[in-house]
């Protein structure tokens, strides 16, 4: 399978804070790969570096065979990279529809089919299309954030803690959607604190500890590993 994303030996700093240390990993086409780890392990920092919001001091990031470690964030969107950031960051004062239009910004305007596709996946958004996004519930906001990223037909979808702050039933729903997207062939890089759920949907996983990769393997392997069970699965 072709490599979609290849992160090679990156080091990311916030001033003097060394947040990501010598991290390497890769995501193949069609895979769901998850990065798990405790608070402050550096998961979000890695995603922000891939999407061009932060820069690595060393190494390289290759996306579909092209070195993107110096490419501006807004240009990466045109190359097919979509990043749903931590905390959703939907445009609170714009309507649901306008948020989706911003998601399709690189295609000028979303086509009817594109909108219908999103509404089919997230029927709630259709009902709420004219509502101001800031008044949506947390779960609806997460659906909007994912819809906004999917509407640009990304090659790689990066999700930063999509289950954060959601009730268990909504967490299930979000993971069901991730499974469906996986089945449809979407390549996904998933950051999660909910290790149990993440390992279930992921083909492969990397465990981060204080900025470094501590372990990696298939989702099933890690889910049964004793060290992981102890540290993240409460058993």
Partner 1 sequence: MTFLSHLINGISLGSVYAIIALGYTMVYGIAKMLNFAHGDVIMVGAYICFFAVATYGLPPIVGVLLAMVVCTALGMLIERLAYKPLRQAPSLAVLITAIGVSYFLQNGAQLLWSANNKMFPNFLNFGGKTGLSLFDGQLTISWTAIVTVVACVVIMIALTLFTGKTRIGKAMRACSEDKGAAELMGINVNTTISVTFAIGSALAAIAGVLLCSAYPILVPTTGSMPGIKAFTAAVFGGIGSIPGALLGGVLLGVIEIFAKAYISTQLSDAIVFAVLIIVLLVKPTGLLGKQIREKV
Ligand X SMILES: Nc1ncnc2c1ncn2[C@@H]1O[C@H](COP(=O)(O)OP(=O)(O)OP(=O)(O)O)[C@@H](O)[C@H]1O
Q: Using CB under 6 A as the criterion, which residues of the chain lie in contact with ligand X when the complex forms? A: 14, 17, 19, 37, 39-45, 86, 193
Is the CB of 152 or the CB of 204 nearer to partner 1? 152
Binding partner of 101, given partner 1, ligand X, Mg ion, none, CB within 5-8 angstroms per partner class = partner 1
Residue of the chain from 38, 102, 132, 220 that contacts partner 1 (CB under 8 A): 102
Is the dihedral angle over the CA atoms 142, 136, 131, 99 positive or is it negative? negative
Q: How many CB atoms lie within 10 A of CB 96?
A: 29
Helices (H), 104-194: 112-121, 123-127, 138-150, 168-183
Tokens of 103: 């998601």
Is the CB of 13 or the CB of 105 nearer to ligand X? 13
Please enumerate in sequence order all residues whose Cβ is within 8 A of that of 125, keeping only pairs 6 or more positions apart, or say none. Answer: 96, 100, 118, 119, 140, 143, 144, 147
State yes or no: residue 70 binds partner 1 (CB under 8 A): no
Residue of the chain from 28, 29, 98, 203 that contacts partner 1 (CB under 8 A): 98
Please enumerate in sequence order all residues whose Cβ is within 8 A of that of 92, keeping only pairs 6 or more positions apart, or say none. Answer: 132, 133, 134
Number of chain positions touching partner 1 (CB under 8 A):
30
Segment lying near partner 1 (by CB under 8 A), choices 104-112, 120-128, 180-188, 214-222:
104-112
Is the CB of 37 or the CB of 154 nearer to ligand X? 37
State yes or no: residue 152 binds Mg ion (CB under 5 A): no
Instruction: Tell me if 145 sits within 8 A of 88, measured CB to CB.
Output: yes
SS3 content of the chain, % helix, strand, coil (to 5): 40, 30, 30
Residue 108 φ/ψ region, left for φ over 0, alpha for ψ in the -120 to 50 degree band, beta for the rest: left
Binding partner of 123, given ligand X, Mg ion, partner 1, none, CB within 5-8 angstroms per partner class = none
Minimum distance of ligand X from residue 61's CB (angstroms): 16
Q: How far apart are the first and last CA of the chain?
A: 35
- Closest by Cα among 20, 143, 160, 192 to 82: 160
Number of chain positions touching Mg ion (CB under 5 A):
2
State yes or no: residue 93 binds partner 1 (CB under 8 A): yes
State yes or no: residue 92 binds partner 1 (CB under 8 A): yes
**For residue 227, what is the enclosing H or E element?**
helix 226-232
Binding partner of 42, given Mg ion, partner 1, ligand X, none, CB within 5-8 angstroms per partner class = ligand X
Tokens of 97: 């529809």
Segment lying near Mg ion (by CB under 5 A), choices 38-46, 106-114, 127-135, 170-178:
38-46
Q: Which positions from 159 to 188 touch Mg ion by CB under 5 A, shown as an x/- string?
A: ------------------------------
User: Where do contacts with Mg ion occur on this chain (CB under 5 A)?
Assistant: 44, 86
């Amino acid at each position: 399978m072709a490599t979609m994303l290849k992160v090679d030996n990156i080091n990311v700093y916030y001033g003097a804070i060394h947040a990501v240390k010598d991290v390497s990993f890769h995501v193949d086409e069609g895979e769901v790969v998850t990065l798990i780890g405790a608070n402050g392990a550096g998961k979000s920092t890695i995603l922000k570096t891939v999407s061009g919001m932060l820069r690595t001091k060393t190494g390289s990031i290759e996306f579909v065979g092209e070195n993107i470690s110096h490419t501006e964030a807004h240009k990466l969107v045109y190359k097919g990279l979509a990043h749903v950031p931590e905390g959703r960051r939907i445009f609170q004062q714009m309507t649901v529809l306008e948020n989706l239009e911003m998601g399709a910004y690189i295609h000028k305007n979303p086509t009817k089919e594109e909108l219908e596709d999103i509404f089919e996946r997230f029927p709630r958004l259709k009902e709420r299309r004219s509502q101001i996004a800031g008044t949506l519930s947390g779960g609806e906001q997460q659906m909007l954030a994912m819809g906004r990223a999917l509407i640009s037909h990304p090659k790689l979808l990066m999700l930063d803690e999509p289950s954060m702050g959601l009730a268990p039933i909504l967490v299930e729903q979000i993971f069901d959607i991730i499974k469906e997207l996986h089945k449809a062939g979407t390549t996904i890089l998933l950051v999660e604190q909910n290790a149990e759920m993440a390992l279930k949907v992921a083909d492969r996983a990397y465990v981060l500890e204080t900025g470094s990769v501590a372990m990696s393997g298939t989702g099933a392997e890690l889910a049964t590993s004793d060290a992981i069970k102890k540290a993240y699965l409460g058993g």
